[in-house]
Structure 1
Amino acid sequence: MPVHLVMQAFMLLLSYELAEAAPPIAKPNCKSSCGNLQIPYPFGIGPECYLDKWFEIVCNGTGGSAQAFITSIDKEVRQIIIGNNPSTNNFIEPTVQVQVPTIYSQHCKYAGNHSIVNITGSPFHFSHYHNAFISVGCDNNAIIDNIFPKVFGCESDCKKDMKVDKKVKCSGFNCCESTNIPSNLQAFDVRFRSRNKSNDEEGGIKHCKYAFLADKGWLEKSKRDPSSVQYWEYVPVVLEWAIFLRNNNSRKLYHFLEGGRKVRCFISDENKDYFYSFFCHCAPGYKGNPYVDGGCEDINECEDHLHNCKNKLDCENTEGGYNCEKRKSKLKIVIVGFGTGLGVLFLPTTWVLYKLIKKKIEIKLKKKFFKKNGGLLLQQQLSSTKNNVQNTKLFNSKELKKATDHFSKDRIIGKGGQGTVYKGMLGDGQIIAIKKCNIVDKANLEHFINEIVILSQINHRNVVKLLGCCLETEVPLLIYEFIPNGTLFQYIHEENEGVQLTWAMRLKIAIEIAGALSYLHSAASLPIYHRDIKSTNILLDEKYRAKVADFGTSKIVKIDQTHVTTVVQGTFGYLDPEYFQTGQFTEKSDVYSFGVVLVELLTGEKPVSSTRSEEGRSLSTYFILSMNENHLFDILDDCVREEGDKEDIIIVANLAKKCLHLNGKERPTMGEVAMELQGIQKKDTNGQENYEELHNVRSKEIDPSYACSTTTQSYSEIASSSSSIVLPSSSFKSL
């Protein structure tokens, strides 16, 4: 009995010492948990226990039923991750999982529970990687509100003849889902519309509709059916976070960086009003909380089975790492020496075997990446089209690494939602642009594969040329011809010390864009709708020729198709209002977007701007109102007004106005637009004028329905009316 008591005491003492030796997660003398939830610093409970008020936690209740709340955003907390995956110890973005209410439409029995979630100005934002957007309801078009300048949402219906994929919970029947939500989202509100335009006009059948953001991991693990959302009040949502510090708090920043080799911190490149954003994690080989002194401790890879040694006995733990070569006994040294001697005799054979095995491993790995990166999907897509990628080269990873100096940060020439673009030089001296996917998920892979399929079928001097792709790397790569002079947006809206766009150059660029779009719509083997025409997607080469780029969201359509029905997405200012209302994208939707670019070339104004009057925030509205009031020449860019022929400018302005018609059927085709612009250029070149054609263009009265609505009614009123054509000025009050 005494021995048993002594052993118990010893084990208690040992467990106490081990607990004391564990790295701290909270500040000294501060609570490190609330119920079953761990509260790591910079979060904290009580005065002096959190970094600042943004990270203050209040713990309500006791024991395992206690609930933690972030007071700054008034949300219940379910999990906090500070930068290291607890199961693999790999670095991940710091996140916090919170409970967020669902949103109901005004026709639900839960009327009054429609609540906007707004965490603007906080260090938190909704994770675009971890969350999914889901909406439930019939005849439903759900759009996330106030995410200017993007449009994002999904559609669902309950028609009896709908084809339903039973394997997918939200396939469009009473429920729709999108996993690629906008990044840096801080305010979440949803606007519900009817998919059937007549229902909006006539009051129609008022269906109850729901929408919410939810943690994808939670949805998968819980196996809940989203269509039962009417019984949920809150759902778990993942927020990403960072630490905000101003210059006068730089001591705190330096304190975090003092972790030396045990801590890695990432500081934002932006410095607005002396404002820094950063987050940290324990360096590879360490685990714990990087935000507290001594919070990162060495990982024993040998004990935790995180080593690559043949067996545990060969593993030796070191500070921040391990090695697989323990000190060998004399007998071991003799054995190794003897084995080495034999190895020398069989070295040629061994070397050949090594090379063969290595080659097989590399081939297997490349096949694995090819499959993971959508190679099978690409083959399927190409087999379903008439053309193949005979002119598209398959680059190898070694060649591309060498071309970009192992994808050095110095070679980055652009970043976007789908990927990062690097500048590289091949062995033969050819300069190329390489697009590397940011995140390997299904949505981004489909964009990349779609772009390969689209561009492989395009052969036009004013469309950026796809040279090839590489799918044998960890993330897929697309290789293009390098276009050296940036985007059209930069030359129109940003100061350039070098070349300024003259009237002749603007007209030439407009003709080239129109010609490329005309080719896509009517001359390609199958019609192609670009779906994202804007000045940032128009590149300029060394001779300032226009090159249409970024076909990630483009669609190939059948010869007999007049439109494609898709989830509404695009960029405010360029988005066809008819497409926004119906979800049906036609070739005339590209015409509308081109019309906005044409107005940009004429006026030098941005598609959406808070510096203009409220009713003219949208450039299309501003332009048409100015024309109707005979103020066209008051809004033109200086070089256009000074260099352009007055009659030519009027022709181009009327053409832009026709492209912006509310009714897509009344807009010209891109072929007609290209011909009319070419007529102006030809006249300027030959010094002659087609007076009959010019007279027809000028004398044609523009129907009032061309003009954007100038009403001052509320956003919700305009959104539900059939006459709305662009996002009204009231929607830009947040700018």
Structure 2
Amino acid sequence: MKPKLTLHPSFIFVLLLISTNAPTYLCEEDARYTNCRNAFTCGDTKLDLRYPFSGENRDSYCGEEKLTCEKQVPMITINDAKYRILDWRNTTQTITVARDDYWDGICVSEYKNSTFGNAHFQYDQQYNDLGNVTLFYCPSDSAPSILTEFYQESCGAGKFVFYTPLPVPPYSGNCAVVAIPIFETNASLVRENKITEALRNGFELNWEGDNGECEKCSDSGGECGVDEGDGGFQCFCVDGPHSATCKGKRNNVGVAIGATVGGVAALVVILGCVYFMIQRRRKIYQKSRSMELFIAPTSSGDTFASTTITSQSLSSYQSSNPVTRSYYFGVQVFTYEELEEATKNFDASRELGEGGFGTVYKGELKDGRTVAVKRHYESNSRRIVQFMNEVQILARLRHKNLVTLFGCTSKHSRELLLVYEFIPNGTVAYHLQGRGSKSTLLPWPIRLNIAVETAEALAYLHANDVIHRDVKTNNILLDDQFCVKVADFGLSRDFPTDVTHVSTAPQGTPGYVDPEYYQCYQLTDKSDVYSFGVVLVELISSLQAVDINRNRSDVNLSNMAIKKIQNQELHELVDPYLGFEKDPAMRRMTTAVAELAFRCLQQERDLRPCMDEVVEILRGIKSDGLGGREETEILDIRTDEAILLKKAHSPVSPNSVVDNWVSGSSVSNSS
């Protein structure tokens, strides 16, 4: 019969003593903490509008961005313009808004631009794929000639509004001009005269406040808010406000709770065990006396041995296995401290180069691998999007001519770091134009092989529905055997197979940007083909893609190359070190590459070859097959093909990447 466990009167007294002396303040919550825990309430909105928002049911100390509830819709006013809030994503700190005054149509009584100067919410079309729709409100008798081809709508009383999603030249006249952001994907709606629908779909703004403080506060169990005295950040906790996190008093509360609960639990266990053992011993003694038997202890030693063996086995297992690693999309997640140590605290002597998004350092991991660590300049929401984009794309791609991504830090890390295989021989740009280098270091066979392998890498990307969007010699690395490794996928985009293009704001490097992409904002795989055409010209000329020291018409290498080829002056373009004039075989191959570059640089994308065709042509040139063409046909500049090339229209490459779509009336983002 098992002993029955009952509570001794002294044990009950101890429990009552502990419970009556527990702190009574543990059940109280600070009013500000309670208020800021509630999301902004308006109509049937499901948006989790907390920090940095206040208004209505959220007091002013809950956030500096005041909201109102009108027409059962959350509204925010930025620089005198009122916007409907369509979406809020706290993880990326982006808000989707639409102009309230344009919700029911474009015939409005007041003409207000969307401006974001001196506001925490900022408009950044470069990272959010945004553009502007520009509206001109004109009397019917004063519409300027530049508007005659724009879409128009009558607003009554002899007033018309003209609108376009395309860039417009600077304008001065009697018309009121309003520029409103829209998503790039909605430009087609404007062209279909569905402008109200395009404006209703809104656009994105980035929250530029310091969200790092709020994350720390939330992680510590607090609610984010502001100090109504100085306007600085404040963390509201159960026990009251703190400057940063719920530490100090809040931790004391936690300690008190833990100590109280732990003490009670420990005491219960101890007293229970003592009482149980006493009762058990008493019963055993009574039973042994009555039966006059001796009970020998036979199991305690065996139990201990078994436990010891288990412990030793577990210890041995743990010591023989590596530390558990985290992975993101299949690539290893490193800690910031690991990479800081690998690069000797990001020592300047270990810098390999700088790009548009960060600095690259050489590092040595503890497992012996030599790596290249890219350190992003910033860790804001825009950089996080690019960072995750590059990781997700490279994690699923494997090709001998693409740089391998070994790992990254967490997106919540102190800094955004990417870890690549180390490529020892630098960039193609350095070998062609770098300081202290000479073009003779890259003889023609190596240059041609660079062209072939780069084309194969791009063809592989396109076959996997990825557009690189920043093809240039600075992003083509060379290993110790001068084999190609294409790098830097921060601007790359997935390209679905069932679409002809992706509408997005032009991005890339000046001198390499596809002119049709620049003009029509339509990204295709042929945009990479154009950029690769510039790379081909660099390989045969050793000249930079953009050089302001050249003649004005030759600043862009693409323009210069087209002109030289059309004017039968290829010999003036080719790097003299290559022996174009002396070596017939080299002249034949260089001419063939120049012809291919000419096709890649056509202004209309439909006239350019696809990357698969480019690869096939370059392989033919490398094997000196040249598609069966005779040498005399290639060298004769007066052939029908050369005449056709001369008559072709010269493509125009943009001098710079577009930052603002509308000059003179662009959306302001000044601070």
TM-score, with structure 1 as normaliser? 0.47
Alpha-carbon offset, residue 679 of structure 1: 1.5
Q: What residue is the counterpart of 1:577 in the other structure?
A: 515
Establish whether residue 611 from structure 1 lines up as the match of residue 549 from structure 2.
Answer: yes
Query: 2: CA distance between counterparts of 1:492 and 1:126?
Result: 45
| Residue identity in the other structure for 2:650 | C
Question: Partners of 1:505 and 1:174 in 2: how far apart?
Answer: 51
1:659–1:587 distance in 2 versus 1, CA, 3 Å: same
In structure 1, C-alpha distance between the alignment counterparts of 2:619 and 2:188, rounded to whole Å: 48
Partner of 2:597: 656
Decide whether the 8 Å contact of 2:336 with 2:415 is kept in 1: no
1:139 maps to: 164
Cα deviation, 1:336-373, whole Å, max 9, x if unaligned, reads xxxxxxxxxxxxxxxxxxxxxxxxxxxxxx99xx9xxx
Q: After superposition, give the CA deviation of every residue in 1:502-542 in whole Å (9 maximum; x if it has no partner).
A: 111111111111111111112xxx32110110111111111
Q: Quick check: 2:558–2:601 contact (8 Å CA) kept in 1?
A: yes
Cα deviation, residue 475, structure 1: 2.3
SS of residue paired to 1:611 = coil
Deviation at 1:595, TM superposition (A): 0.3
Alpha carbons of structure 1 residues 600 and 578: separation in structure 2 relative to 1, 3 Å:
same
The amino acid across from 2:550 in the alignment is R
Equivalent residues in 2 for 1:45-84, closer than 5 Å = none
Q: Following the alignment from structure 2 to structure 1, what is the Cα–Cα distance between the partners of residues 520 and 200?
A: 17
1:692 to 2:626 alignment: no
1:528 is matched with: 466
1:727 maps to which of 644, 654, 661: 654
Structure 1 residues 696 and 667 mapped into 2: Cα distance closer, same or farther (>3 Å)? farther
CA contact (8 A) 2:566 2:647 kept: no
Give the conservation status (yes or no) of the 8 Å contact 1:615–1:728.
Answer: no
Q: How does 1:74-223 map to 2 (within 5 A)?
A: 132=124, 135-137=132-134, 138-142=163-167, 155=184, 157=187, 159=189, 176=203
Q: How does 1:366-405 map to 2 (within 5 A)?
A: 389-390=329-330, 392-405=331-344
CA distance in 1, matches of 2:122, 2:600: 40
- Name the residue aligned to 2:310: none
Q: Deviations over 1:297-344 (max 9, x none)?
A: xxxxxxx978999479x9xxxxxxxxxxxxxxxxxxxxxxxxxxxxxx
Matched, 1:476 2:416: yes
Matches within 5 A, 1:11-26: none
The secondary structure found in structure 1 opposite 2:356 is: coil
CA displacement 1:158-190 (0-9 Å, x = unmatched)? 83899x9x9xxx9975865676xxxxxxxxxxx
Among 587, 590, 611, the residue aligned to 2:525: 587
Conserved 8 A contact 1:135-1:175: no
| Aligned: 1:511 with 2:511 | no
The residue that corresponds to 1:561 in the other structure is: 499
CA offsets, 1:672-702, max 9 Å, x none?
111211112222xxxx776437677675343
Q: Which residue of 2 aligns with 1:500?
A: 441
- Counterpart amino acid of 2:654? L
Q: Distance in 2 between matches of 1:434 and 1:690?
A: 43
In structure 2, the partner of 1:90 is none
Provide the secondary structure at the position in 2 that maps to 1:159: helix
- Structure 1 CA distance for aligned equivalents of residues 502 and 401 of structure 2: 24
For structure 1, the residue ranges without an aligned partner over 5 or more in a row are 1-77, 79-107, 115-124, 146-151, 180-214, 219-303, 315-365, 379-388, 710-724
- 8 Å CA contact retained: 2:467, 2:528: yes
Q: Distance in 1 between matches of 2:541 and 2:119?
A: 37
Residue 416 of structure 1: CA displacement? Answer: 2.9
Instruction: Check the 8 A contact 1:573/1:620 in 2, yes or no.
Output: yes
Letter of the 1:430 partner, please give it: R
Distance 1:456 1:556 in 2: 13
Provide the C-alpha distance between the structure 2 equivalents of 1:488 and 1:529, rounded to a whole number of angstroms: 20
Measured in 2, the distance between the counterparts of 1:442 and 1:144 equals 32
8 Å Cα contact 1:573/1:608 also seen in 2: yes
- Which structure carries more relative contact order (alpha carbon 8 Å, separation 6+)? 2
Aligned to 1:629: 567
SS of the aligned residue for 1:571 comes to: coil
> What is the SS of the residue equivalent to 2:391?
helix
- For residue 418 of structure 1, the aligned residue among 339, 357, 366 is 357
For the residues of structure 2 that align with 1:602 and 1:617, how far apart are their CA atoms?
A: 17
Distance 1:126 1:511, change over 3 A: farther
Deviation at 1:631, TM superposition (A): 0.9
Residue pairs, 1:339-354, within 5 angstroms:
none
Structure 1 residues 583 and 401: alpha-carbon distance in aligned structure 2, compared to 1, 3 A threshold: same
Q: Deviations over 1:378-399 (max 9, x none)?
A: 7xxxxxxxxxx44x22334443
Distance, in Å, in 2 between the alignment partners of 1:419 and 1:556 is: 22
SS at match of 1:560: coil
Corresponding position: 1:441 with 2:380: yes
Distance 1:399 1:171, change over 3 A: farther
**Aligned-residue offset at 1:451:** 0.5
SS in 1 for 2:373: strand
CA distance in structure 2 between the aligned counterparts of 1:510 and 1:158, rounded to whole angstroms: 37
- Cα gap change, 1:635 to 1:395, in 2 (>3 Å): same
* CA distance in 2 between partners of 1:599 and 1:542 (Å): 24
Task: Please give the alpha-carbon distance, in whole angstroms, between the structure 2 residues aligned to 1:592 and 1:128.
Answer: 38
- Alignment deviations for residues 220-240 of structure 1 (CA, whole Å, 9 cap, x no partner): xxxxxxxxxxxxxxxxxxxxx
1:490 aligns with 2:515: no
Is 698-707 or 561-570 further displaced after alignment? 698-707
The answer to whether the 8 Å contact 2:503/2:521 transfers is: yes
Aligned-pair identity in percent equals 34
Q: Residue 513 of structure 2 contacts residue 654 of structure 2 at CA under 8 Å; is this kept in 1?
A: no
Contact 1:648–1:680 (8 Å) recurs in 2 = yes
CA offset at residue 497 of structure 1?
4.7
Counterpart residue number, 1:668: 609
User: Contact 1:153/1:569 (CA < 8 Å) preserved in 2?
Assistant: no
Equivalent position of 1:36 in the other structure: none
* Aligned match for 2:490, one of 544, 552, 560: 552
1:86-126, CA deviations, whole angstroms, 9 ceiling, x for partnerless residues? xxxxxxxxxxxxxxxxxxxxxx9999x99xxxxxxxxxx99
Offset, 1:447 = 0.6
User: Cα RMSD (Å) of the superposition?
Assistant: 4.6
Report the Cα distance in structure 1 between the residues aligned to 2:600 and 2:333, rounded to whole angstroms: 40
- Matching residue of 2:404: 465
Task: Report the residue type matching 1:420 in the other structure.
Answer: T
Indicate how the Cα distance of structure 1 residues 310 and 395 shifts in structure 2: closer, same or farther if over 3 A, else same: closer
Secondary structure of 1:478's partner?
A: strand
Q: Counterparts of 2:563 and 2:374 in 1: how far apart (Å)?
A: 40
Q: Is the 8 A contact 1:651 1:694 kept in 2?
A: no
How far the C-alpha of 1:646 sits from its partner, in A, is 1.4
Offset of residue 142 of structure 1: 4.6
Distance 2:586 2:120 in 1: 49
Could you state the TM-score of these two structures normalised by the residue count of structure 2? Answer: 0.51
